[in-house]
Structure 1
Amino acid sequence: MSQPAALISTEQLAAMLGDPNLRLYDCTTYNEPVPPGSDVPYRAVPGDKTFAAGHIPGADFLDLQGEFSDASAQQFFMMPDVAQLEAAFGRHGLDASKTIVLYSIGTMMWATRFWWMLRSLGVDAHVLDGGLDKWKEEGRPIETGAPRGYPATIFKAAPRAGFFVDKTTVKARIGDPSTVIVNALGPQFHRGLEPSRYGRPGRVPGSVNVSAATLVNADKTLTSLADAEAKFTAQGVTRDKNVICYCGGGISATIDLFLLTQLGYDRLTLYDASMGEWARDPALPIETD
């Protein structure tokens, strides 16, 4: 299978540096631990410090929780309204006519989250395979300091329906033979074998497990399309099904969604609040092994 169009290699990006049509963004966030008994599962910390310590030359920095999430929501990283996103992306010079490349540190899930958000707004972007980790491992150039940014633009979204669903929709789809619900968390959390920082251990009843971690190679790049296809089909995730992906906070599930999209699946959606909401709501059913 050919390399998916939305995925860009370090070699391809290196050849594009300095192109005035390029808009390059570091999307890194860190989920830091909180004391036991805290009301939140983790503390969301923007990756601005690691950005300043070293980033791909010319990149700007996007603060997911700070500018691109609904601050009024109980869960982190919830999709905000279109007006907020238009203003935020416009401030960062994002322009649909440009070549948009997203990357992150440690895991590609922060970049794929922004990719999914932009896609829902009618804007297609690229994700750097392996992120900054692979870039640095290959000895490619690094720049330090605060972001210089890009000239502001007027960002006008063209929202696409169906990219996000809520708990009511997920609950209604449990047991629906036309739908498969996919949990992107690790198998120990899917099976409820370990305590969950999100609340009750376990999974959405009837959901299958294609862990995002199993779709990533040791060098932080994504697995091959053939391997991803095999992992999804083994769990009954087929093109004739409506697919709902979830995880803990609507982030790692976007790795599953990214690969499914590159494989040609088009009946895809994200349960945005994921287990951060589901596990804490006693009115919602939960399943363990």
Structure 2
Amino acid sequence: MKSTAVEPFVDLEWCCQNGHRVVLADVRWYLDGRSGREAYDGGHVPGAVFVDLDRWLSTEGSPSEGRNPLPTPGDFSLGMRELGISDDDIVVAYDDAGGVIAARLVWMLRATGHSSAILDGGLASYEGPLETEHPARPMGHFTAQPWPSHRLAEIHELSTETNLVVDARNRDRFEGRQDPIDPRPGHVPGARNVPCRENLAASGKLRSKAELLRSFAAAGITSAEKVISYCGSGVTACHNLLAMEYAGLGHGRLFTGGWSQYGHALELPVELGPA
């Protein structure tokens, strides 16, 4: 398997320049229950394949593991092969939310040595006519790789005495002002709040590296070395990790279970209010 060094975020011009190796992946998915597949069928960037987050990027959730645990490496590789993705392809993923959903696929690919990036600006960055046809791609040759333990964190490691725990959820959920999804409001005691959607400018594109560095520094993050990133269920937390990498801060770790796992662990403490 050849892994090409690719920045975590690229634009359409970059895709055009590397088009012979790029596979576009539509990863639209909605927490409110809307169908990402229906959105894709209604119109997507020409040539893009649809990656079903529930089917290929997670497995069945539970209170003890959270809503979106990682799938087995074998299931993930099967999904990529069925979509016509091979080891030597560069997967550029997009959604209609600035990449905060597509980040899950990109993180999974990059963490296992496959070349991948988020399309900066997402679906809105493509100004041409959308298509409704499904591209016919031959079966891919995609090698299953184990999830790297050094890029993942477990619930017992969410101690802010030894790690810098970063919550990617919106501020209202972090502060416990409302949480319509999980059993308890609030956040991991001592966690910092860096809402992943604040990584984006008003245009929907990623902020500059200098702006990202200032934002992370304001939360006490000057290196990702001891960072553990979480959100509700290990999806949007990936956007913070990729933004840190893009800004030159290195690699943090992902707590896949997120608040949907931690909130069910009633023996663990919860903190309310701002960080």
Asked if TM exceeds 0.5, the reply is: yes
Which sections of structure 1, spanning at least 5 residues, go unmatched?
33-42
1:31 aligns with 31
Tell me which of 117, 124, 128 is aligned to 1:133. Answer: 124
In the aligned structure 1, how far is the partner of 2:187 from the partner of 2:8?
30
Which sections of structure 2, spanning at least 5 residues, go unmatched?
1-5
In the aligned structure 2, how far is the partner of 1:259 from the partner of 1:149?
32
In the aligned structure 1, how far is the partner of 2:142 from the partner of 2:71?
15
Does the 8 Å CA contact 1:46/1:65 hold for their aligned counterparts? no
Residue 16 (structure 1) shift: 5.2
Identity of aligned residues (%): 26
Tell me which of 34, 40, 52 is aligned to 1:51. Answer: 40
2:213 aligns with 229
**Distance change in 2, residues 1:46/1:79 (3 Å):** farther
Name the count of aligned residue pairs.
Answer: 265
1:10 aligns with 12
Determine whether 1:157 maps to 2:159: no
The one-letter code of the counterpart of 1:150 is R
In the aligned structure 2, how far is the partner of 1:278 from the partner of 1:117?
22
**Distance change in 2, residues 1:81/1:195 (3 Å):** closer
Residue 267 (structure 1) shift: 4.1
In the aligned structure 1, how far is the partner of 2:224 from the partner of 2:169?
23
SS for the counterpart of 1:203 is coil
Does the 8 Å CA contact 2:89/2:115 hold for their aligned counterparts? no
Determine whether 1:248 maps to 2:232: yes
The one-letter code of the counterpart of 1:175 is E
Does the 8 Å CA contact 1:184/1:211 hold for their aligned counterparts? yes
Q: Deviations over 1:164-221 (max 9, x none)?
A: 2221222xx2322xx2100111222222233452121111001111111211122221
In the aligned structure 1, how far is the partner of 2:103 from the partner of 2:200?
13
Residue 278 (structure 1) shift: 1.1
**Distance change in 2, residues 1:15/1:57 (3 Å):** farther
TM-score, normalising length: structure 2 = 0.89
Tell me which of 68, 75, 83 is aligned to 1:92. Answer: 83
In the aligned structure 2, how far is the partner of 1:283 from the partner of 1:164?
22
Q: Deviations over 1:201-257 (max 9, x none)?
A: 111001111111211122221111111110111111122740001111211111111
Determine whether 1:203 maps to 2:187: yes
SS for the counterpart of 1:31 is coil
In the aligned structure 1, how far is the partner of 2:29 from the partner of 2:175?
27
Q: Deviations over 1:55-108 (max 9, x none)?
A: 111111110102331125453321011111111111112112122211112331
SS for the counterpart of 1:70 is coil
The one-letter code of the counterpart of 1:203 is H
**Distance change in 2, residues 1:234/1:275 (3 Å):** same
In the aligned structure 1, how far is the partner of 2:77 from the partner of 2:103?
19
Determine whether 1:69 maps to 2:69: no
Does the 8 Å CA contact 1:59/1:149 hold for their aligned counterparts? no
TM-score, normalising length: structure 1 = 0.85
Does the 8 Å CA contact 1:111/1:127 hold for their aligned counterparts? yes
In the aligned structure 2, how far is the partner of 1:78 from the partner of 1:46?
20
After the TM superposition, which residues 268-279 of structure 1 pair with which residues of structure 2 at under 5 Å, given as runs?
A: 268-279=252-263
Residue 120 (structure 1) shift: 2.0
